Structures are given as C-alpha cells and as structure tokens.
Structure 1
Amino acid sequence: MAPLPARRRRRTPASNPTAPRKRRRASTSTPASIAPVLPTNVMLEIVARSDTRTLVRCAALCKPLRRTILSPAFLRRAAAIVPPRLLGYLHTFDMDKEDEELPDALFSLLHPDPTTAGSFSDEHLPRFVGRSAADLLGSYKPLTSRNGLAVLLRRHVNRRRWSQRRSDVCVYNPVTGERTFFSYPPDYWRNYFRDLGPVFVLLTAGDGIGCDFKLLAVDFYGFFDSSASMHVQTMSSSSSEDGAWSPVEYVHGITCESDWMEMELSRDAAVLHGRRIHWLAKRGEVILTYDVATSETGAIWVPVDYEDVSKLHLGISPDGRLRLLVVEGFRVSVWLRSAGRGGWELKAVIDTEAKLRSLCPEIMAPDGPTFLEFIDSGEKSGVALLRIKRPGCRVSCRRWLIVLEVETGEVRKIWCPHRSNLVVEIDMPSRLQTMKVFS
C-alpha cells in the first residue's frame, strides 16, 4: 500500500504575514482613581478622640506623625481619653485548671481612678489588651514589670530538650502585643533551691541601656554564712534572637553584717535611672545596691527599724529619687533619699484610718489587730497599693485593694477578685518615643 501523503500544516494568522490583523477595541474601563489622602489635621483629630490602641498604632506609622502626637499640646488634648500614665493589673490565669476561668478583662485599671468621669473609660480596656493575649496569659505566670514591659515565666514545666526550650521566659508589651521568648538561664533549676535562688530584674530603654530591654538573672550565694557573692547573667532584646545568655559575671566582695543579708526576694527591685539596682533586706535595716555598669555593690541603711518587711516598700519617686514607704498601723510615712547629702528626708506622714473606716466598715474591726501591708506601687504615677490584714478575714480582705495617692493622701478601694496579677505601669510618652516604626 502506498504511504499516505503528509498533511499540510494550517498556518495560523499570527504566522501568516498576509493575514489581516484584528483591531483591538478601545478599553471602556476608566483607570483606577487614586484614593484621597486624609489630611493630617483631620487624622490627628480622629486620634485625639479615639482610644489607646489607635493612638499607639498611629504613632508607629511614621516619625512626623509621632512627633505631633508627642507634642505637649496634643497630649493635653488626648489626656481626657488616653491619660499619659496608666497603672493597672495584668491578669494571668492557669488555663489547665478547671476552677480558673478566663477573666472578663485581661487588664484592670487602677490609676487614674476608673470611676472618675472623663478618665480612661472601661470600654477601651478590652482593646488595650486584646483577647488574643489569653493564650499567653493562660500559660505563663507573672514575674516582674518595668516601664510598660512585663516578664512572664512558663507556668508548667517545659519537657522539651534543653536545646529546644526557647519559650520558657517571655518579655511582653501589653500596648503593642509584641512578645520576645527565650529559655531559662543555664543551670536555672540547679540553682533554684540553693540559697536565695535566681532573681530577675528588668531594665528598659528608658534606663539608657541602648536597646528595648535587658533582663538580668541574679543568683545570690553565701548570704547566710558571711561569704556573699552574686552571679549575674543578662539577656537583651538584641541578643534574644540567638537565644544565648551572656557568660556568668561573678561579683564578690559584698560586705555582710551578721545576718542582714537575708534578702526579701518576693518584691521587685527598685532601679534608679543610671542602672543602679536596690534590694531591700528582709531584716537588718539595710538596702543592697548593685551598679549594672560598674558591677560595684554597696549598702544603704534604712532610716527606721522594722521586723516585718511587708510594712515597708522600696521604690522610686516621680522625680527619680529613692523612696521608702513605711506603714505603722494605718499611718504611712514617706521617706526620700537625698541626692546631695546621701541621707533620708521624711517628706510626709499620711493617716488613713478615718478614711478606711468609712470606705471599708465591714473589714475594719472596731478593735483588734487590724493593720495595713504593702502590695506594690507605681513609680511615675505616685500610687501605693496596700491591703488590709485582719485575723480571720480571708476573702474580703484579700480581694479589696487599697489605692493610696502618695502626693495628695487620697484613699480609695478597688475590688480585685483575680488570683494572679501583675502590676504594670505604662508611661505613654516614653513608650511612644522608644517604639519602632512599622515598615
């Protein structure tokens, strides 16, 4: 059979030079119109009438907008809705326990007074710490806070291999939601039950450290046998990506006087600008100091005798001086450390008994051993937090928090039913000044 002839390929019009070209129709669609730009003054007017989260996000958009927001005139306008300083409780809970439920709000305002008209309204609080933080606050327990940043520790033991434990510690920013995770310092659990155990101290950009934060892990040794020393390791925001703590720095030569170095570690350290850390001794009427820059240690004697350290609170005054609050019965004495002479000055004595009997008649017994004890304080807001102690009074005494305005002597009470709380103080201008710009 003869082979079939090969088929001739049909030439497409595109490859045929003689084929007529089709004319394209003109597009009937109009080019996309450029979205109108909102004038800056209108945007600032909206920000001034909004809430804290909106103000923070607008300040992070660009530096020119942030400069306007940080101007004194704008801050005075926005203070009616967003006060320059916030002091509140960050609530944590154990999400693995059936008897602990998710709090209605993850942040409760303590200062300014939330009941005062024109102050930071409750409707802004859910926006301030979003519900997305529930997983974090349900898995971590509070440790310490400073300048708007909170340090949280994993609530339950992480059973991963040590090389994979990158989420044991978290530095959390409630304003922006930013979280930085890293592991415990090496030998953390080995030193946990030895002598005083590890203590964490947080420094922030406001302390002039050149980065967002620096966390110090301090181990105290030999404070019960007159051979005191400190082992210091640091983790900063610049080194957290590597997850490596600094090498241990050994600080020796700490002078001990009998047993005065029985430290009270349940309280936060007081940090002066200039990175000098102060710890109040549990007994012995003395304060241990440590200079982060020079590693020098020292001691400051307390101006009063005391047997119960819960009746004293060491902190920083709004003008940056070391402040010691002492409570005797229902009187609160305010001592300030003089910068020049290096001595103590009694600034005020506040008698709270009459006001407390009016505020808390159900707690204040007509007679018997009823007294106050310190819980915490806000440095820049000038607020001290106390609790009434009375034998046999458990639930009501623990849940009512006494808020003392140190400068004015005003006293009020706030119901705080949550078990696990962390006092967080946020200075809005300083936080806005040091925050990063969105890319």
Structure 2
Amino acid sequence: MAGGVGAPRPRAQAQTSAQPRRRRHQAASLPIDVIAAIVARSDPATLVRCAATCGDMRGRVADPGFRLRLRHADHRFVPSLLRGLLLGDRESTYRNDDPLDMYLLDATAGSLRRAAESFAPGEDGEPLELYMPLSAREGLVLVRDGDLHVCNLATGRFETLPPEPEFGGLCVLLVGDGEDAGGGAVGRPFQVVKASLVLEEKHRRLVVQTFSSELGTWGPCTEIRTPQIHGRNLHGYSQALRIRPLVAGGAVHWLCFTDTAAYVLKLRVRSAAAAPPRLAVTKLPERFPYNGGRFSNNGWWWWIRHLLVTMAPGGSPAVLVADKDKISAWTQSKHSARWNQQPQVVIECKAISRFLGNVVGEERERQHMRNWHSEQATNLVGFAERSGVVLIKLYDCFFWLDLQSKQIVSCFLDPSIRDKNVYCPYEMDISNWVPSFSAASL
C-alpha cells in the first residue's frame, strides 16, 4: 500500500551481516577467599552485610581462623571498636576495697552513664561491681579491690587471680588469641605483667613477674639489669615507669623519666613455657621535653603531657607531647629505629578550638578556652590501640583525636567530668565483629 506502514520484521530478520548479534558476557566473580580477605580489612558493618549475602560467606565468617585473621590484622585502625572511656569519682580513689562509682563515657551515644547500666550483669544477675580499673584490652578489664580480677564486661564474667607479687609496681593486661584453650571464665587467654623499675645506685633493674591464665599461676620473678638507665626518680614520683603503657607488636612499652633523661622500655613477654622476658631500652633525644606534668598526692595524674601511641596501624611506638599550643609526636626512623631529633606537629590547639566552636558556639568556646589557657593543661588521657584514637581532656571537655586523619572527630562536654578520674579507654573485643550463625543458616 502506497504511503502505508509495512509490517514489522522479526528482530533477528532486521539484523544484517554488518551488524552481528552481541554476545552476552557474564560478569566475572571474585573467589570467596579473596572476598574474605577484603572483608577482613573492612569495618564491622561491611562484614555483617557481606555475611548476609550467602551461606558460603557466612561459613567463612564463622570460621575461627577468620577471627584469628581479624585479631592479627594490624594494617588498619578501626575507630568503631572504641566503646568509650571508663571514669570514676575522684573521692573513691582512696577506697580500693569498695566498688567505685564507675561511669562509661559512651563514644557512640555521646553520653555519660553508670557502668552498671552499660554492661552485662554479673553471673548472679546483679549489676557488675567494678573496682579500680588498671588496664583494659580486647574487651577485658583488669581491676583491683585488694585482689586482682579480670572482667569480661560483655558477658559479666570475671576471673580472680591468685595473690599478686608483693613488690610494688604497675600491672598491664595482655590478651591472647584463642577463645577456648586457656580462656578460663572470661573466654580469652590472658597474661598480667607486673613490673617495677628499681633505680638503686649499684643495682639498677627491672623487676618483672607474669601471671598466665593458661597455667593459673604467677611465674617466677625475673630481674633484668638496666645499667643504661641513668639518674634518679623525679621529685614526688615513687616509680620511674609512667602509667598508660602501650602494647604494640606483642610487647609492652613504658615511658621512663628520671631526673637526667627520658627513656622508652620495651618488654617482650613470652608464653608461659618459653624463655624469660627480654628488655630493650632506648633513650629519647636530649631535646625531648619531659620534666613536667603535675602529679596528685594519691598517685593519679591530674593532667598528662606525654602518651605512648602508634601513629600508624602496626607501626613503631611514638610519644605524643602536649603543650598549650599544640600536640606533637616524637617518632622513630623507619630505617634505623632511632628517635628523630625533631617532633612533628599532630594538631594545633586552634584546630581543637574551632571544632569546639562548631559544636557549642563561639561564646561557650571562648569561655572554655579561657579556662583551658588559665590551667595550661592539655591532658592526654589515653590511647585506644585498636581504634587509633587519642582521648584528650580539656577542662570539662573530652575530645576524640583520630591519629589516622589527625583530626578531631568527636567531643563531649559535661561539667561533672571535671572532678572525675580517668582510668582507661574500653574497646570491645574484635571478635564482636563476627555475627553468630546457627548451623541451619550456614
């Protein structure tokens, strides 16, 4: 028909030899092992979403070997592991045998709550009574009430240690990898290291004794000679080792200040059946500013200018130093492991002030900064080793400093925290990344 519309041809008929049919290609998929390796480098939310995709992935995530990989993954910080900061009323410090009025400054909710309301109850169903926290790591907390106890705040279970060594010293909690063997009541194997640096003129030594949950007993007392440490304890200090040790690379690191020099001690503690602990001592540069920082009469810092950290995941120890203008880091050379002679600026206090102004407004910012400068106290209260977060206290404000970005990422203001003791950051166990699956879901 003239001017008419012809009947449509079938699609296959319409194609010519010059236009060959397109082939459909199926998108290539990654092997499950590669996906699991990628997920192990992600964050908890990504891990859960990936585990929900298929049974094979849920099986990989539920594998104990996968949890071990997470614990050994020192190639990144995971800020979401930081649950908060443990605080206590200052007047309770004198009552070591009574439960403290303990609080958790919640890193997620930005609220201050009693610890009994934040954690699981004890095995008797009653709120868990917390005493003076000494050290926290991987979801476990070491506390003292005359005896030493290790508590799992996620389950409310705790283990009481045998009587500790009689010498005075600092206690550090180290947490192992397994969840069954040697885990005891708290579900994870652990060690408690007690150490004291004795600076006698003719017999300088580090005294060390270690408790192992796998053996259920304290090991032998070891004395390691330290002739390379010179000087005496600073005036007003009964112990040359500073509180807030760092656990990195499987070793415990302490700052040590004498009246003539500053040092970093690195103690590598072996397993219960292995060789005795090994000690390495390095001297900080002559220009390192250490002869400062007030000390309270009852043995707690009112403010802390120095803090051991790692600037990068799995990196070497560095020392943060705070003054009224900035926070700087004294770091080690990557090639020689010697301390660099000049610090690097991590963050200026003006940047902290700007963050505060964005949160509370310029007027309250100016008020807080006047209080801050009158005290000239930038208090470095703790380092969350898995999260890579430094906790800073300025007057009645807490700030979260992310070392990866060198930025303030959060802050909390409450006048009630001004007179509270700061004990330690509390990070959840990295195994809490992993969802629980029944056999039917795999």
Q: 1:138 & 1:127 partners in 2: Cα distance?
A: 11
Q: 1:312 & 1:96 partners in 2: Cα distance?
A: 25
1:231 aligns with 2:227: no
The match for 1:185 among 154, 160, 164 is 164
Q: 1:225 to 1:87 in 2, by over 3 A?
A: farther
Structure 1 consecutive aligned stretches of length 4 or more whose deviation exceeds 6 Å: 62-65, 68-71, 100-103, 133-136
* 8 Å contact kept, 2:326–2:346: yes
The match for 1:89 among 85, 88, 92 is 85
Structure 2, unaligned runs of 5 or more = 1-43, 52-57, 68-77, 183-188, 271-275, 294-303
144-153 vs 130-139, greater mean Cα deviation: 130-139
**1:204-246 C-alpha deviation (Å, 9 max, x unpaired):** 1159xx951111122333x153521122221111123xxx322
The 3-state SS of whatever aligns with 2:367 is coil
The match for 1:297 among 258, 279, 289 is 279
Match of 1:130?
120
1:356 aligns with 2:367: no
**1:270-304 C-alpha deviation (Å, 9 max, x unpaired):** 22213253333255222223232453333222242
The 3-state SS of whatever aligns with 1:364 is helix
The match for 1:410 among 394, 399, 408 is 408
Match of 2:430?
429
* Equivalent residue runs for 1:22-421 within 5 Å: 66-67=62-63, 84-91=80-87, 106-110=103-107, 114=109, 129-132=119-122, 138=129, 140-154=131-145, 157=146, 168-186=147-165, 188=166, 191=167, 197-206=168-177, 212-221=189-198, 223-240=199-216, 244-259=217-232, 263-265=239-241, 267-281=243-257, 284-293=261-270, 295-303=277-285, 304-309=288-293, 310-321=304-315, 322-344=317-339, 346-353=343-350, 355-356=352-353, 358=357, 360-365=365-370, 368=374, 370-388=376-394, 397=395, 399-406=396-403, 407-410=405-408, 412-415=410-413, 417=416, 419-421=420-422
Q: Which has the larger radius of gyration?
A: 1
**1:58-88 C-alpha deviation (Å, 9 max, x unpaired):** xxxx9866249969xxxxxxxxxx9751241
Q: 1:288 & 1:152 partners in 2: Cα distance?
A: 24
Q: 1:353 to 1:282 in 2, by over 3 A?
A: farther
Letter in 2 for 1:334: A
**1:326-381 C-alpha deviation (Å, 9 max, x unpaired):** 11213011233334311245554311225426354322218655331211121232
The 3-state SS of whatever aligns with 2:194 is strand
Q: TM-score by structure 1 length?
A: 0.60
Q: 1:422 & 1:131 partners in 2: Cα distance?
A: 21
294-303 vs 82-91, greater mean Cα deviation: 82-91
**1:245-267 C-alpha deviation (Å, 9 max, x unpaired):** 22222222442223378755451
How many residues align? The count is 323
**1:110-153 C-alpha deviation (Å, 9 max, x unpaired):** 3xx535xxxxx999x98861244896754521111123221000
Q: 1:377 & 1:108 partners in 2: Cα distance?
A: 15
Shift in Å at residue 385 of structure 1?
1.7
* 8 Å contact kept, 1:330–1:371: no
Letter in 1 for 2:161: F
**1:173-219 C-alpha deviation (Å, 9 max, x unpaired):** 22233311123324x2xx3xxxxx22112211159xx9511111223
* 8 Å contact kept, 1:92–1:138: no
Q: 1:150 to 1:271 in 2, by over 3 A?
A: same
Q: 2:313 & 2:222 partners in 1: Cα distance?
A: 32
Q: 1:69 & 1:109 partners in 2: Cα distance?
A: 31
Letter in 2 for 1:305: P
Q: 1:354 to 1:292 in 2, by over 3 A?
A: closer
Q: 1:376 & 1:342 partners in 2: Cα distance?
A: 24
Q: 1:286 & 1:101 partners in 2: Cα distance?
A: 35
Q: 1:180 to 1:386 in 2, by over 3 A?
A: same
Shift in Å at residue 101 of structure 1?
10
Q: 1:258 & 1:68 partners in 2: Cα distance?
A: 49
Q: 2:240 & 2:197 partners in 1: Cα distance?
A: 12
Identical aligned pairs, as a percentage?
19
Q: TM-score by structure 2 length?
A: 0.60
Q: 1:355 to 1:69 in 2, by over 3 A?
A: same
Q: 2:386 & 2:327 partners in 1: Cα distance?
A: 19
Q: 1:297 & 1:95 partners in 2: Cα distance?
A: 32
The 3-state SS of whatever aligns with 1:362 is helix
Q: 1:277 & 1:95 partners in 2: Cα distance?
A: 26
Letter in 2 for 1:306: Y
Q: 1:369 to 1:203 in 2, by over 3 A?
A: closer
Q: 2:250 & 2:79 partners in 1: Cα distance?
A: 27
The 3-state SS of whatever aligns with 1:333 is strand
The 3-state SS of whatever aligns with 1:218 is strand
* 8 Å contact kept, 2:172–2:194: yes
Q: 1:427 & 1:131 partners in 2: Cα distance?
A: 16
